[in-house]
Structure 1
Amino acid sequence: MQADESTGSEVRGEFGRQYQRRMLEIRGAFATGASGTQTIAARTAAMDELVTRLWRSAVERDSRLAEGIALLAIGGYGRRELFPYSDVDLLFLQDARVVEKEVKEAIRRVGQEMWDCGIRVSQATRKLAECERFSEDNAEFTLSLMDHRLLAGDAGLYAQLAGETVPKLLQRGQKGITARLVELTRERHAKYGGTLFHLEPNIKDCPGGLRDVHVCGWLRMLDGSVVADGSEDIEFRHAVEFLRLVRCFLHYRHERDDNTLDWQAQDVAAEAAVGLKGRDTQKLDAAYWMRFYFRHARSIERSLKRLIEDLPMPKSARRILLKRERGVEPQAGFRIDHGRILLDPAVQGYVAGARRDVAHDPEIVLEVFAAIARTGCRLGREAEERISQALPLLSANLEEGPALWRRFQAVLVGRYAGDALRAMHALGILELLIPEFHGIDALVIRDAYHRYTVDEHTFVLIDTLHGLEEAQGGAKSEWASRAEWASRFGALLGELPHASVLYLMALLHDTGKGRSTGDHARESAKMAHGVLARLELDQYESDLVTGLIANHLEMSSALRRDIFDAETVRAFAGKVQTPDLLRMLTLFTYADINAVHPDALTPWKAENLWRLYMATANYLDRSVDDERVGAQEARELVDRVSALVPNQRHAVAEFLEGLPERYVLTRSPEQIRTHFRMAERLGEDRVQLDFRYAPSVSELTVVTPDRALLFANMTGALAAWGMNIVTADAFSNRNGIVVDSFRFTDTFRTLEMNASEHERFVKSLHDVMTGAVPLEKLLSGRRRGRRKTPKVVVETRVEFDDVASSHSTLLEVIAQDIPGLLRALSLTIAAHGHNIEVALIDTEGETAIDVFYLTHEGAKLEKRQQRALRAALLEAMEENAG
């Protein structure tokens, strides 16, 4: 027996070696030009051979497997779509006669032997009767069962499954399976912001990816009456072939089932012209190649949307759409029916029997998109095709001027303008009206900060602005978590006399990125002149648009300064100049930050943006004196703090004496009382810490007598625990008591996953600040992983500004965001004897933007001190990076 088992093991080992040799051959064929479809078919065939051999070997070892068990390929394997590193989905189907526990070990061994061959296996065992039921909690199994093939075993049992069980399952559960499939698809799309236009898309799971191809197939299988027309089939098949090829490329590149089309992969794919045979690829770059990807993904997304739109609509969705439709006046040329816009039929004309089609009339077509913007309805399939085919005639019939602006204005101000503009963009209508927009179609700009392509970023920005209207109305949506700030900024939107101008500016603000001039704001403003001339906006509105575009980065830049410094407000006010422009720029900046990626607009950023708006509005109105009113507000707040601390007004005043106005105006009375109480306890413990944990951003405040390296030691201690500082500030009073606050995120989720670590975390920081534990010891125990290769190489810049502040020298450092950077900077500043008055820490993707307000012995830094500090900072950053 031992000899037989040994011989069998050797045979099975040979099966695995033959399979691996075949994998090398398939990879070689792909490298020399095999298509994605050929590659996945070849791996499927090789897998079929291996699985059936292993099964036969298993049956020879255990005859109980010979009857009543069928081995099936399901899921992607069932569709014969095994990508180079895809998992292999197997189903061991059993009839009622099989005693499961008797064959369990033999079946497990088959899976183990495949793992031993280097294959990731996902196997399931089911009785035939268990395959008859659909469970919403395990819809994935039913979906995988829809793609099934017999590999080996009981053919009669498989015939029952294929001929009776699965057809009955799909017939009985059609509505439930379809509804669950659509729900799962929408949930998956929501994880990616509902858009396919990501800078580094997952080509399997993103909208327009291969998973959507599978959903199309499942929907057609569930409803045999749904058949795509021939033209769509050709476009759809080309898109599928392209994505298959790219996924094979990614698997071989990453040597695992990794489907993210990251920047490095895009560079290599563009250089190799993956999927672009027969094209002139001598000057092909990644951004150009990605446009082919987006074009194919858009084709798949459009096919899926059409299939979903053809499904019976749930009652709840029908009620919402009917409510929206009631607000739409009857229009000549089209009608709305159950959420879809249908064009009137083309009619016979009088000249040479020509047919007159409403799709050729620009006025009616723009009214169609205005209706989409008002209601959120979609174009019907026939309407979409007729408008797409009518582009040449629409171009010939298009008249420019105020009439065109009025119609386009109706699109921009609609609640669902983003959806309408996306539809116009996909059909080529938007570029027909605004050719300047073509340059940013699916344009990828690599900055490791933005999530979307330039055009999609623009549409998300417009979605955000209209979302403020919804928040202002009290509706509950994704804005619920930001209700307070959305309501505040929404109120500004309601005050705008020229809201349509803001939406037009938002649409045009990034068009200059399509030209590599290095200053996209200025280039976008230039390009806007042509649009404004064609639409014939009056001079005031034209100046608003161009002024907004030219200055659309100014408010974001001002937020990187001390917004409580009068010079910051004066400089910013000098650029916006008018209250109207300020309100628009504030709203735009709010929406622009939000449209970068879902987590970019933190409550802290929203609060700072609001404070900057209020300070600048006061300055422009000239209704108040900054310093006098600021001091008055400060005195009022001192009174409120004193009210919280009975009989200690003099002590409170002494604590607050010398602290800058910024401290008083950015802290609540309760926070100031906490800091005052901490200062009272300094006689007991010279380091007082106040830690406020939050899952998103935590805050730590230290109150202690001032001393050298205080800021540097604290940043180092936080870094040693893996905390990423998002902002920090430092203040001191006349008695030399420091109040330093740090807001940070928990990179490794140490505090989130281990509540018991909170106390140890605080004690560790306390020990460093008191000198009980050297910082170097804490840093030496820090986990140091291999630093990732940056996606974008950030050029280091160190700049000084003596004008931005009336009392300090401003130091701005822009550098690669790497661990230890902030500590290296603060140590160097301290070593030169300079004092950090304010520190503003920010990170955008892989770019660290750190701003320090510095003084030396109470005065601004001299030029020689700036030169010496700059050289030392560059050296320190180079050492830290090494």
Structure 2
Amino acid sequence: MTPEEKAQAGIREVYQQTMQSISSAFAAEMRTAAAGSRAIAARAQEVDRIVAEVWTAAQKRDPRLAAGTALVAVGGYGRRELFPYSDVDLLFLLDGRLDEKDLKDSIRSVHQELWDCGLRVSAMTRKLAECERFDPENVEFTLSLLDARLITGDAEVYGRLAEKLLPKLLARDRKKIVGRLLEVTRARHAKYGDTLFHLEPNIKECPGGLRDVHVCGWLEQLQEDGGAGSKAAGSAGDEEFAESREFLCTTRWFLHMRHERDDNVLDWLAQDAAAAQSLGLGGAGAQVHDAGYWMRFYFRHARSVERRVTKVMEEAEGLQAPVRRARLPLLEKIGFGGSGSKASKAVESRGFQLRQGWIALDAGLPGGDDPAHDPEIVLDMFGAMSRSGARLSRASELRVEQALPLLSAHLEDGPALRRRLAVILTGPFAGRALRTMHALGTLELLIPEFHGIDALVIRDAYHRYTVDEHTFVVIDTLHSLHAAPVVEGQPGQMAEWAGRFGTILRDLPHPELLYLAALLHDTGKGRSSDDHPRESQRMAEGVLARLELDSYESGLVLGTIRNHLEMSAALRRDVFDKETVQAFAGKVQTPEALRMLALFTYADIWAVHPDALTPWKAENLWRLYVSTSNYLDRSVDDERVGASAESELVHRVAALLPGRREAVWSFLEGFPERYIRTRTPEQVKTHFQMAERLAGGPTNTVELDFRYAAGVSEITLVTGDREMLFAGMAGALAAWGMNIVTADAFSNRQGLVVDSFRFTDSFRTLEMNDSERARLVDSVRDVMLGKVSMEKVLAGRRRGRRRAVKVAVEARVDFDDAASSHSTLLQVVAQDTPGLLHALSRTIGEQGCNIEVALVDTEGEMAIDVFYVTRLHRKLDAAEQGSLREALLAAMEQNVR
């Protein structure tokens, strides 16, 4: 071993020992939020020593390195943020006297020696002149220079960079750099859906992550005054921001050590491990090791960072212009219910100013009252935010936070408070105002019951948001319905349904009651209760009493909260079944309560997860609303509704088939009303023509109609009735990896079956390969005709596509004999796995039962499948239900294997 190799081995050994010591120290104090900050600074200090030692040895070999070259730490290393597997960002900075090619070998040698010492070095070589130019396509390099610091080498060279070139670059290109930084930051946020709420967040890149901490620092450095004024104004707020940074640093160090690589994803298992260690919680988590509880702390810190980066970015865009005194638009005084729901009184703003996009409290007069201490002024200010969409200045935020004790002492309940709360809730930017109030503590001041759901996590694979954020998204979604017929942010297929529900909202007599119900509907989740709607209702009763709502107003709010899951549950039933509509109508009782619940359910489903409210679910929600509304209005009796609908449809279908009226009547005879109401005349015409092609052909002939769509495709089977048709179709689609979202099966008096399946293409097979669509139809036809073994194909698909289960779902089978007058309702809740629907429907068929209607739904990892079944044209008795339950549980267990 050469002397150089021995030296490198010695450096590497010392480095490994030091890292082990740093990691041990971190492990011993990981409950404290500052553990990560101390660890990254300690690693940076150790790397400084190694770089200096290697550079000194290199200078002895090549004296030309002694003058004109500086080793500069940039990026994360420059900030002294070296996590266990972070790259060491080094800049070899040369003055103009040296030619890079002459030093190339020596610099490469230094680079290699640092790698041999155990460092992952990301190095670059630049001349001073190159650092003076700004490249919009490489803004990262310029940003890295903002964090630059000298490690070793020629201090004069580094001084020219720090004291001359960099200030000159910023003076010339400051606006360009800021603009490009804002662009890349928005693009990164968009990549993560512009939300910090992810089930498994990337704590570096997600909104509210460490990268946003860096953005705040860069933008404050790039301000004309160097950020001094901003920092002075926000010193108290900076304490919370600093705590959040420390928590994120501790979490990232923990992830690096756990994953043994630069992996910053806080996955489910890492969340469990972090909670078990009470990572970063200090005394707060000493006795609580629940992952959901720990994630509340993560989201609170991420939310703090997101608030800061949002404000700093908006300030950088020039929204905070010189103060210009302006009157706010007149604020409507809105009451809850009665005549107060109309604009009846207006007041001039007092105690605060509207700037260009910003609202700021007036300064308190010497010896006078501070506007921040007056609840009326503060609540009017939040009302102005809700109406205008303006942001609250950072200085005003701090004043409101500091004034909370005095605001609490001066706050009075009653009609005045409810009017101001109504102004906030009904403003088009209510969600923004409420989030600010929540972050500052004023929302909990008004409604202490809300505190229990602060950053509360529902830890499953379906809920996207924390409970408090879900509440605000519900309110945002309701306000978006005012913009119909085209609603921004709603996918094209959803725009129609948003427009329809928007008409209900615009005609709602008391919209403020709906928004209040939305604000309170999940407060019960903060308590240990298995029935959170009831608990939320109980907690809301205290709020409504303090606001002094009358009995009618309170009844509408409490009824919406109590029943807020009922409409979603009814969608898992046959919404065309009279008993379903009658039972649901019995719970809402009045048309206005129905309108509020329908609007709330639309927004509630949308706010659970971006993909939760599909077009077909919105369609069923609308149909249930219309059916229940008709039932409550008693405008048409059941027989006339059925007769008029059928005769009108027959007339419209017959118009498409001149001279075939009697044949159309014969085809439709015996189909349930659900088939008639859920098909357009064109669809019925297609099915009729498919049935005619079957006439006179072989007994087992099948007709298939396939309609491809980028979102949800549909395939319909028309054939003679026989066993296992529904199960065969479900299995054939599962064999192709299709995810069935809804399915139904009908038969007429002639024994003709019409089975329809709507499904999504999880792997985009049909989207990327047009030829595969014909192959899918041929494959399904072959399976239905018995030409190929579907079981073998399905087994191969199951093995090839098995995925890890994040949240285990316990299988459950329930029966209900009262939900339908002609069938037994069977509901299966199970782990969503490939081939599940096929396994269930096959088992039902093997038990001698017939599926009259099937409704399929999936929520994250959980499949909720509902079947209306009969046996020998009657409901199932108790013994038959018991036998079917055992068979289904066994089939589900087998399907998971």
TM-score by length of 1: 0.89
Partner of 2:273: 268
Is residue 2:308 matched to residue 1:303? yes
Partner of 2:241: 236
Is residue 2:226 matched to residue 1:257? no
Partner of 1:455: 468
Partner of 2:205: 205
Between the aligned partners of 1:830 and 1:63, the Cα distance in structure 2 is: 87
Render the CA deviation track for 1:38-85: whole Å, top value 9, x for unaligned: 322344455567778888999999999999987654322332322223
Between the aligned partners of 1:62 and 1:103, the Cα distance in structure 2 is: 9
Identity of paired residues, percent?
64
Q: Secondary structure at the match of 1:456?
A: helix
One-letter code aligned to 2:567: M
Partner of 2:582: 570
Partner of 1:820: 835
One-letter code aligned to 1:565: D
The change in CA–CA distance for 1:278 and 1:539 in structure 2 (over 3 A counts) is closer
More deviation, 400-409/214-223: 400-409
Partner of 1:352: none
Between the aligned partners of 2:372 and 2:656, the Cα distance in structure 1 is: 70
Aligned pair partner of 2:749 in 734, 741, 746? 734
What is the CA-CA distance between 1:484 and the residue it aligns to? 1.6
One-letter code aligned to 1:599: D
What is the CA-CA distance between 1:468 and the residue it aligns to? 0.8
Between the aligned partners of 1:690 and 1:369, the Cα distance in structure 2 is: 56
Aligned pair partner of 1:859 in 860, 874, 886? 874
One-letter code aligned to 1:27: S
Q: Secondary structure at the match of 1:781?
A: helix
Render the CA deviation track for 1:793-817: whole Å, top value 9, x for unaligned: 3232210011111221110011222
What is the CA-CA distance between 1:830 and the residue it aligns to? 1.2
Partner of 1:30: 26
Partner of 2:622: 610
Residue correspondence of structure 1 range 347-496 to structure 2 within 5 A: 347-349=365-367, 355-471=368-484, 476=488, 482-496=494-508
Is the CA contact (8 Å cut-off) linking 1:83 and 1:248 kept in structure 2?
yes
Is the CA contact (8 Å cut-off) linking 1:370 and 1:407 kept in structure 2?
yes
The change in CA–CA distance for 1:634 and 1:69 in structure 2 (over 3 A counts) is farther
Which consecutive unaligned segments of at least 5 residues does structure 2 have?
Answer: 332-346
What is the CA-CA distance between 1:322 and the residue it aligns to? 12
Aligned pair partner of 1:709 in 717, 724, 734? 724
Residue correspondence of structure 1 range 19-98 to structure 2 within 5 A: 23-33=19-29, 35-45=35-45, 73-89=73-89
The change in CA–CA distance for 1:303 and 1:665 in structure 2 (over 3 A counts) is same
The change in CA–CA distance for 1:678 and 1:240 in structure 2 (over 3 A counts) is same
Between the aligned partners of 2:424 and 2:717, the Cα distance in structure 1 is: 53
The change in CA–CA distance for 1:680 and 1:45 in structure 2 (over 3 A counts) is farther
Q: Secondary structure at the match of 2:704?
A: strand
What is the CA-CA distance between 1:792 and the residue it aligns to? 2.7
Is the CA contact (8 Å cut-off) linking 1:212 and 1:300 kept in structure 2?
yes
The alignment yields a C-alpha RMSD, in angstroms, of 3.6
Q: Secondary structure at the match of 1:532?
A: helix
The change in CA–CA distance for 1:769 and 1:178 in structure 2 (over 3 A counts) is same
Partner of 2:349: 331
Is residue 2:635 matched to residue 1:591? no
TM-score by length of 2: 0.88
Q: Secondary structure at the match of 1:273?
A: coil
Q: Secondary structure at the match of 1:450?
A: coil
Between the aligned partners of 2:113 and 2:764, the Cα distance in structure 1 is: 38
Between the aligned partners of 2:781 and 2:62, the Cα distance in structure 1 is: 67
Is the CA contact (8 Å cut-off) linking 2:275 and 2:291 kept in structure 1?
yes
Q: Secondary structure at the match of 1:811?
A: strand
More deviation, 86-95/571-580: 86-95
Is residue 2:360 matched to residue 1:342? yes
Is residue 2:884 matched to residue 1:869? yes
What is the CA-CA distance between 1:583 and the residue it aligns to? 0.3
Q: Secondary structure at the match of 2:461?
A: coil
Is the CA contact (8 Å cut-off) linking 1:442 and 1:453 kept in structure 2?
yes
One-letter code aligned to 2:393: G
Partner of 1:660: 672
Q: Secondary structure at the match of 2:609?
A: coil
The change in CA–CA distance for 1:709 and 1:166 in structure 2 (over 3 A counts) is farther
More deviation, 328-337/129-138: 129-138
Partner of 1:810: 825
The change in CA–CA distance for 1:336 and 1:102 in structure 2 (over 3 A counts) is same
Partner of 1:554: 566
Between the aligned partners of 1:704 and 1:113, the Cα distance in structure 2 is: 75
Is the CA contact (8 Å cut-off) linking 1:199 and 1:453 kept in structure 2?
no
Residue correspondence of structure 1 range 598-677 to structure 2 within 5 A: 598-677=610-689
Partner of 1:185: 185
Between the aligned partners of 1:102 and 1:673, the Cα distance in structure 2 is: 83
Partner of 2:761: 746
The change in CA–CA distance for 1:746 and 1:390 in structure 2 (over 3 A counts) is same
Is the CA contact (8 Å cut-off) linking 1:198 and 1:453 kept in structure 2?
no
What is the CA-CA distance between 1:690 and the residue it aligns to? 2.8
More deviation, 8-17/724-733: 8-17
Between the aligned partners of 1:56 and 1:681, the Cα distance in structure 2 is: 89
Is the CA contact (8 Å cut-off) linking 1:505 and 1:548 kept in structure 2?
yes
Is the CA contact (8 Å cut-off) linking 2:8 and 2:116 kept in structure 1?
no
One-letter code aligned to 1:272: Q
Is residue 2:528 matched to residue 1:522? no
Is the CA contact (8 Å cut-off) linking 2:327 and 2:354 kept in structure 1?
no
Is the CA contact (8 Å cut-off) linking 1:198 and 1:451 kept in structure 2?
yes
Between the aligned partners of 2:478 and 2:205, the Cα distance in structure 1 is: 28
The change in CA–CA distance for 1:280 and 1:497 in structure 2 (over 3 A counts) is closer
What is the CA-CA distance between 1:729 and the residue it aligns to? 1.4
Which consecutive unaligned segments of at least 5 residues does structure 1 have?
Answer: 350-354
Aligned pair partner of 1:537 in 540, 549, 553? 549
Between the aligned partners of 1:58 and 1:29, the Cα distance in structure 2 is: 33
What is the CA-CA distance between 1:507 and the residue it aligns to? 0.7
Is the CA contact (8 Å cut-off) linking 2:195 and 2:207 kept in structure 1?
yes
Render the CA deviation track for 1:182-209: whole Å, top value 9, x for unaligned: 3333443445554545554432233332
Between the aligned partners of 2:114 and 2:763, the Cα distance in structure 1 is: 35
What is the CA-CA distance between 1:502 and the residue it aligns to? 0.7
One-letter code aligned to 1:562: D
Q: Secondary structure at the match of 1:738?
A: strand
Render the CA deviation track for 1:414-443: whole Å, top value 9, x for unaligned: 111111111221222111111111111111
More deviation, 268-277/130-139: 130-139
What is the CA-CA distance between 1:676 and the residue it aligns to? 2.9
The change in CA–CA distance for 1:632 and 1:269 in structure 2 (over 3 A counts) is same
What is the CA-CA distance between 1:626 and the residue it aligns to? 3.0
What is the CA-CA distance between 1:737 and the residue it aligns to? 2.9
Partner of 2:339: none
What is the CA-CA distance between 1:118 and the residue it aligns to? 8.6
Partner of 2:849: 834
Render the CA deviation track for 1:372-408: whole Å, top value 9, x for unaligned: 1111112223322222222222222222112221121
Between the aligned partners of 2:767 and 2:138, the Cα distance in structure 1 is: 30
Between the aligned partners of 1:284 and 1:832, the Cα distance in structure 2 is: 46
Count residues in correspondence.
Answer: 869
What is the CA-CA distance between 1:718 and the residue it aligns to? 2.0
Q: Secondary structure at the match of 2:613?
A: coil
Between the aligned partners of 2:165 and 2:634, the Cα distance in structure 1 is: 79
Between the aligned partners of 1:467 and 1:280, the Cα distance in structure 2 is: 39
The change in CA–CA distance for 1:257 and 1:708 in structure 2 (over 3 A counts) is farther
Q: Secondary structure at the match of 2:797?
A: coil
Between the aligned partners of 2:767 and 2:124, the Cα distance in structure 1 is: 35
